[in-house]
Structure 1
Amino acid sequence: MKRSELVFIPSPGIGHVTSTVELARVLVDRDDRFFVTIILMKLPFDDKFTSYCQSLAESTISNNIKFLDLPLLEQALDTKAKDIVATYMETYKPLVKEALAQLIESSTLRPDQPPRLIGLLVDMFCGTMVDVGNDFGLRSYVFFTSGVGYLSLLFSMQTMKDEQNVDSTQFKGSDTELMISSFAKPIPARVLPSMFLNKDVVPGFLNLARMYRQTKGIVVNTFLELESHVMSSFFDGLTLPVYPVGPILKLQRNDGDKGSDKVREKEEIIGWLDDQPPSSVVFLCFGSMGSFDEDQLKEIAKALEHCGHRFLWSLRRAPPKGTIVFPSGYNNPKEIFTDGFLDRTAKIGKIIGWAPQVDILAHPAVGGFVSHCGWNSILESLWFGVPIATWPIDGEQQLNAFQMVVELGLGVEIKLDYRKDFLSDDEVKMVTAEEIERGIKSLMENNGEIKEKVKEMSEKSKKAVMEGGSSHSSFDRFIADLMS
């Protein structure tokens, strides 16, 4: 029985690293012949992520998983670069290559059946690292931490460019609806991810698609039952193996030692939820990068007060314009809400900073989730059977929102086409209190059919990862291919 080692290279971001660690954990739990080394890159503007990487490197998640913590490259993030993501990954390439060389050298020195290094699994944004694997004669796989819907759109855009010279940036600001074979409904140009509408960035993303085609397969954090239409039509024209193995979720959180600030915050939040009736609370949270200016926050507050539903709101301070830093919490929310909103809603609402999202979505008091539609958040909400009201912000979230509301009927719309990211130079349009209130009321009051569909999908998501389930079987295929 051969012992085999894989190197996982996640993008530097908590969501991507967390999913990668969970995938590694599933792999070594399923087959203890596998050993995984996870290479951790850093972000120069995110001290919390750096600390998180250091804590991972010092932890023992499994005897078969180890971490290689690369140094922070202070000058690596060139905010003036046309394609920040691609430039950043290229800067880290020499360090990754050196790390791989050392791993290969050390493996030859191990006594007693050293695990053979058989390949790389690179994050969806780390396609350039496939070149590094090729330099060492290693096969590469991609770990796609979003859904197959976005993956199929990426491949479609790349094919349209290469075969028909279609420039996707022409769709910016248009009313065009795109017929993409893997989607049942036409995709409005207004929900296309920003990377397809930005002339400086789109070449890099299309190159990622080309790079994916050079790999041995793509592992996707989704499950067949969720994206069945996309997968049935997408697989037909693709020679590359795709392994839907999700939902890959971190359901058990370690928030630190008892008595730490995070543990105390979580206990306070869960204690408040314990006092609320079942399915009565709407939870608002917009991800690690989600924040709004004060005028938009006041519109949200107005909507919450007017609709009268109990609410738990993760409130984040927007970073200064023109900077790439993570939002922070407010020490005193009264500095924004000077009109008495906090006092008037004290009996029905709670404002928090950091949110233990999994614990909140798992709580029976939560009946709806106003979300930015990051893919991990969608999978978590479906797992716990909590319907979503969509408010996308950046990345591929507009497409995710479209899938949830229009394609799958698993969510309600606040907005599908809101966007506020560094790839878009569009003026950010205000979402009015009336639009927000209408979305929250639809989420909490009039969505019996959607609630039922979400509940069914919740059951399907859990069955998918059980023995005999679609994702469990797909993982078996992935392991068999790795060992072949």
Structure 2
Amino acid sequence: MKKFELVFIPLTGIGHLASMVEFAKILIDRDHRFSITVIIMPSPFANTSTTYIESISNTITGIRFIELPIVHPPPSDNEPGFKSEVRAILTDLKSNSVSLAGLVVDMFMIHMIEVASELGMPTYLYFTSGAAMLCFSLYLPTLDTQIATNFKDYPGELTIPGYVNPHSPLYVPPSLSTRNDGYNFFLDHARKFVQPKGIIINTLYEVEPFAVDSLANGTYPPVYPVGPLLDTQTESIEPKYEHIMKWLDDQPPSSVIFLCFGSRGSFSEPQVKEIAMGLEQCGYHFLWALRQPPAEKFGMSTDYANFKDVLPDGFLDRTSKRGIVCGWAPQVSLLAHKAIGGFVSHCGWNSILESLWYGVPILTWPLYAEQTLNAFALVKDLGLAVELRVNYIDGVDLITAEEIKRGVKCVMDNDSVVRRKVTAMKEISRTTKSDGGSSFASLKRFIQDVTERVDV
């Protein structure tokens, strides 16, 4: 039997890495001819991924990791160094008896397509967000020529292929709202997204049919929606979280609103106080993962030493019988719990897929990256979430206690249309990767395209 090897190059952050590894797992499980080599780039976030990499290495056959060494001092431009390292690895692999079938690169590693081209290898893009965001990315070079101003200053609405409804420029990701270095960086990557032989998306057709259909117009490379790609094995609960799980065990089904905002999610002290007042006033039981802002601009949020330093006086005492405030929380395990009835989320794509997998409606609170567009699509196009509306108070964007109270009541409504849609999507998401499902068929197409390209 002929063997095939694919080389994966993820972004090192755990959200991107884990998503690509989940794709590797379903690929080798589906077709035993495949093996996967994952190249791990030096990164400030590498330490957060070490335990995960060790776990996969020890439990999954067919996936191996090659970690590139940290260079001291780092080069002023990392790309040439990384490219030479990757070129050497690929050259070595090409000399093996296994057919090197191609390179699968994260959306932020698309520059590696040049290395693959030099070696006569096909490249496939792995897009870690949804199909609608891919549509926006592919259309961004066109928008760049059509709109002369910064998006934040554009007076009209944007009509983007892949989105059902036009949207305000306010929904453009904050990092792209002005033509700065971040904008130019992403625009340069987006222009290269049309170059690979195919694009793998961590989504399922049933969630984003309009966006997936708009990508199949012959203009772009073939698209393979193969999701949801999630590690649905809930985390082992550390002793310090056991009191949370025990408390949830004592709550009625779908009675607790869960607030969690990812590894970088944090708020100013005025906003924290508004959240606290909103939770106190809404009357629902709550579980709030509250973290403090990072010390550095692109750092991770950290746990507070004492919540009383930031919460309103007496809040913890007044709500002790119906709420828990904690630091970092095992999100997957908590979303899987029957007591969780709503999820206030930053709308990272992995978090969205997790909420749909467990049938928990989202109250949207986007913070950074593409989360604003994710939230727009969820609320306006798909009807799978409830929107929190931002107020502009004293020169500062703030979501008020009254708005939080309103939003929580909406998302916790057991008879709402949103809850019914999310419940239906839970059932679909659990069958789409099985024989007969849309993602099953999409993965089959990908395997055929890869193997046929090698055999040519």
| 1:50 CA displacement | 5.1
- SS of equivalent to 1:177: coil
| Pairing 1:55–2:57 present | no
Query: How many aligned positions are there?
Result: 449
Q: Which amino acid in structure 1 is aligned with residue 243 of structure 2?
A: E
2:126 aligned residue: 143
**TM-score under structure 2 normalisation?**
0.92
Q: Name which of 104, 107, 112 aligns with 1:129.
A: 112
| 1:459 CA displacement | 1.2
CA contact (8 A) 2:235 2:330 kept: no
| Pairing 1:358–2:303 present | no
CA distance in 2, matches of 1:209, 1:189: 18
Q: Name which of 301, 304, 327 aligns with 1:327.
A: 301
| Pairing 1:222–2:217 present | no
CA contact (8 A) 1:177 1:188 kept: yes
1:247-258 superposed matches below 5 A = 247-255=228-236
- SS of equivalent to 1:445: coil
Between stretches 220-229 and 332-341, larger displacement belongs to: 332-341
1:147-162 superposed matches below 5 A = 147-161=130-144
2:30 aligned residue: 30
Q: Which amino acid in structure 2 is aligned with residue 331 of structure 1?
A: A
Q: Name which of 417, 423, 440 aligns with 2:408.
A: 440
CA distance in 1, matches of 2:391, 2:79: 33
Q: 1:481 to 1:100 in 2, by over 3 A?
A: same
Between stretches 285-294 and 177-186, larger displacement belongs to: 177-186
2:315 aligned residue: 341
| 1:102 CA displacement | 3.3
2:242 aligned residue: 267
Q: Which amino acid in structure 2 is aligned with residue 456 of structure 1?
A: A
2:380 aligned residue: 406
| 1:404 CA displacement | 0.7
| Pairing 1:204–2:185 present | yes
| Pairing 1:287–2:255 present | no
| Pairing 1:192–2:172 present | yes
Listed one character per residue, the Cα deviations across residues 96-129 of structure 1 (whole Å, up to 9, x for unaligned) are 5324423532563x5xxx3122211000111111
Q: Name which of 213, 218, 232 aligns with 1:232.
A: 213
| 1:156 CA displacement | 1.4
Q: 1:26 to 1:274 in 2, by over 3 A?
A: same
Moved over 4 A (4+): 73-78
1:166-181 superposed matches below 5 A = 166-167=146-147, 169-181=149-161
| Pairing 1:382–2:382 present | no
Listed one character per residue, the Cα deviations across residues 10-59 of structure 1 (whole Å, up to 9, x for unaligned) are 11211001101111111111111111011112432x474254466358x3
Q: Which amino acid in structure 1 is aligned with residue 270 of structure 2?
A: D
Q: 1:47 to 1:139 in 2, by over 3 A?
A: closer
CA distance in 1, matches of 2:72, 2:415: 48
Listed one character per residue, the Cα deviations across residues 323-348 of structure 1 (whole Å, up to 9, x for unaligned) are 32101111321222251100111110
- SS of equivalent to 2:428: helix
Q: Which amino acid in structure 1 is aligned with residue 247 of structure 2?
A: W
| 1:432 CA displacement | 1.2
Listed one character per residue, the Cα deviations across residues 73-104 of structure 1 (whole Å, up to 9, x for unaligned) are 576598xxxxxxxxxxx515523532442353
- SS of equivalent to 2:206: coil
CA distance in 1, matches of 2:202, 2:210: 16
CA distance in 2, matches of 1:358, 1:53: 15
1:480 aligned residue: 448
1:71-86 superposed matches below 5 A = 71-73=69-71, 76=74
Between stretches 136-145 and 409-418, larger displacement belongs to: 409-418
Q: Which amino acid in structure 2 is aligned with residue 60 of structure 1?
A: N
| Pairing 1:8–2:8 present | yes
Q: 1:252 to 1:119 in 2, by over 3 A?
A: same
Q: Which amino acid in structure 2 is aligned with residue 434 of structure 1?
A: E
CA distance in 1, matches of 2:397, 2:286: 24
Q: 1:29 to 1:281 in 2, by over 3 A?
A: same
2:65 aligned residue: 67
**TM-score under structure 1 normalisation?**
0.87
2:284 aligned residue: 309
Q: 1:75 to 1:291 in 2, by over 3 A?
A: farther
Between stretches 16-25 and 165-174, larger displacement belongs to: 165-174
Q: Which amino acid in structure 2 is aligned with residue 188 of structure 1?
A: S
CA distance in 2, matches of 1:325, 1:360: 25
Q: Which amino acid in structure 1 is aligned with residue 38 of structure 2?
A: I
2:427 aligned residue: 459
CA distance in 1, matches of 2:421, 2:72: 47
| 1:398 CA displacement | 0.4
Between stretches 93-102 and 323-332, larger displacement belongs to: 93-102
| 1:237 CA displacement | 4.5
| Pairing 1:245–2:226 present | yes
Q: 1:428 to 1:245 in 2, by over 3 A?
A: farther
CA contact (8 A) 1:414 1:435 kept: yes
CA distance in 2, matches of 1:452, 1:167: 39
RMSD value over aligned CA atoms? 2.2
Listed one character per residue, the Cα deviations across residues 225-255 of structure 1 (whole Å, up to 9, x for unaligned) are 1101122223225241000000000111454
CA contact (8 A) 2:150 2:179 kept: no
CA distance in 2, matches of 1:413, 1:7: 40
Q: Which amino acid in structure 1 is aligned with residue 403 of structure 2?
A: E
CA distance in 2, matches of 1:267, 1:92: 44
| Paired-residue identity, % | 45
- SS of equivalent to 2:104: strand
- Unaligned 5+ segments in structure 2 are none
CA distance in 2, matches of 1:387, 1:294: 27
Q: Which amino acid in structure 1 is aligned with residue 92 of structure 2?
A: E
- SS of equivalent to 1:178: coil
Q: Which amino acid in structure 2 is aligned with residue 252 of structure 1?
A: Q
CA contact (8 A) 1:40 1:53 kept: no
CA distance in 2, matches of 1:446, 1:173: 40
Q: Which amino acid in structure 2 is aligned with residue 133 of structure 1?
A: A
- SS of equivalent to 2:162: coil
Q: 1:140 to 1:159 in 2, by over 3 A?
A: same
